[in-house]
Structure 1
Amino acid sequence: TKADEGHDEDISRDEIIAQGFATKEEYETIEGYALSLFERGRKMAAEKGLILVDTKYEFGKIGDVIYLMDEIHTPDSSRYFYAEGFEERQMRGEKQKQLSKEFVREWLIENNFMGKPGQTVPVMSRDWVEEISKKYIELYESVTGEKFVPVAANEAELTNILNLTAEDLHNRV
């Protein structure tokens, strides 16, 4: 669940129900959705030579309808390992070759940023931002099997996207 400050917090099934975030029935529905999504993501990743290691899904409700919120199976919400060489690296106790945001997290920690209140994100060089972009594009192309084609958007279009409300999104569903 979302913490008041900082990173997400782990929360158990029983705590979710006890704290009223979901009823038992809603939890079971969400659990079914999450397991189905993970299995589909795992199969899609395997077809592309990747292993979907773990991920997070965010669900919410509008009225009585449960919705999947936010992104799924992206480098921000998931970790992927390359299947090729996975077993060998495991046997040798080596770090797995992966596609995720972990390398960005490690860089932030190396630069003394822990995401704590009052901290300022360290300045990233243009080269580092390009490296991050390349890795995200690599994952996109690996998972979709398609070439990434950037889309240009002007400031007004970006502002409109950022200003969408839950009601706007609900009306688009």
Structure 2
Amino acid sequence: MSSTMCAYLLRCMNMLVRGYVTGSTDTSLWTVYKNGVCNYCGNNLPDGELSVNILTPTTKAAEHDIPITPDEIFQRGLMSQADFEEASRKALCLFEYGQEHGLILVDTKHEFGKGPDGSVLLIDEVHTPDSSRYRIGHSYEKRFQEGLEPENSPTWELTENLKLFQEFLRLWLKENCNPYEDEVLPDAPEELVSELAWRNVKEALLFL
């Protein structure tokens, strides 16, 4: 006997959790800092590093996600305050759980739905290379103090400077196009596709 549970998406909302000021996209915390934004998605940003993990929810638009504050979410009826608080609690707990296996979970995206009984449920992918950004934990603090870029690759990879899956792809896109503005994106070369597949496999092995 088998059973199936259905859950519906909470009004096209993404719950992003961030623990570090980094990133290269238009919605990343580093970009926000450079632009002088002091309050982002309802969070009062400190002058330096984050002292606590923060939530930066977005709405899922046709072209790219749009940052939104909790108050705007409630005013537009996208989520109730109770559902938002429950989804936030679960997202922050999951983020803490992701700090394992010698990796630092820098930021990630969670999606939530509601079950038949009205409970808030985690749905879709969780902490995958496509939805999350990681750093290598054992060398992070030393490299940070020395003013060096964090390691994005485990020591058993082929070269020292290889990036983990998502960051590698983001850097390639940044060098070759603007995915937020260009209507036509360049074709990915076969070498890039093969490299991404290989990095995805290696990153998955870190969690075993």
Using the size of structure 2 for normalisation, the TM-score is 0.61
Cα offset for 1:4? 3.0
Equivalent-residue separation in structure 2 for 1:126 and 1:21 (angstroms)? 41
1:118-156 per-residue CA deviation (whole Å, 9 max, x = no partner) reads x2231222221111111111110012x2xxxxxxxxxxx
Match in the other structure for 1:103? 168
After superposing the two structures, state which structure 1 stretch, 21-30 or 95-104, moved more.
95-104
Match in the other structure for 1:30? 87
Match in the other structure for 1:92? 146
Count of aligned pairs: 139
1:41-92 per-residue CA deviation (whole Å, 9 max, x = no partner) reads 22xx2xx211111111111235523222221101111111101211121012
Equivalent-residue separation in structure 1 for 2:119 and 2:185 (angstroms)? 37
Task: Choose from 82, 98, 116 the match for 1:41.
Answer: 98
Higher helix share: 1
Identify which of structures 1 and 2 has the higher relative contact order when contacts are C-alpha pairs closer than 8 Å and 6+ apart.
2
Match in the other structure for 2:198? 134
Instruction: Note if contact 1:76-1:101 (Cα within 8 Å) is conserved in structure 2.
Output: yes
Code of the aligned partner of 2:61: D
Instruction: Note if contact 1:41-1:73 (Cα within 8 Å) is conserved in structure 2.
Output: yes
C-alpha RMSD of the superposition: 1.9
Equivalent-residue separation in structure 2 for 1:61 and 1:15 (angstroms)? 20
Match in the other structure for 2:136? 82
Code of the aligned partner of 1:106: L
Code of the aligned partner of 1:5: A
After superposing the two structures, state which structure 1 stretch, 20-29 or 2-11, moved more.
2-11
After superposing the two structures, state which structure 1 stretch, 83-92 or 105-114, moved more.
105-114
Using the size of structure 1 for normalisation, the TM-score is 0.72
- Structure 1's unaligned 5+ residue stretches are 146-173
- Aligned-residue sequence identity (percent) comes to 37
Instruction: Note if contact 2:129-2:165 (Cα within 8 Å) is conserved in structure 1.
Output: yes
Higher strand share: 2
- Structure 2's unaligned 5+ residue stretches are 1-57, 153-163
Instruction: Note if contact 2:177-2:185 (Cα within 8 Å) is conserved in structure 1.
Output: no
Code of the aligned partner of 2:198: K
Task: Choose from 114, 118, 126 the match for 1:61.
Answer: 114
SS state at 2:206 partner: helix
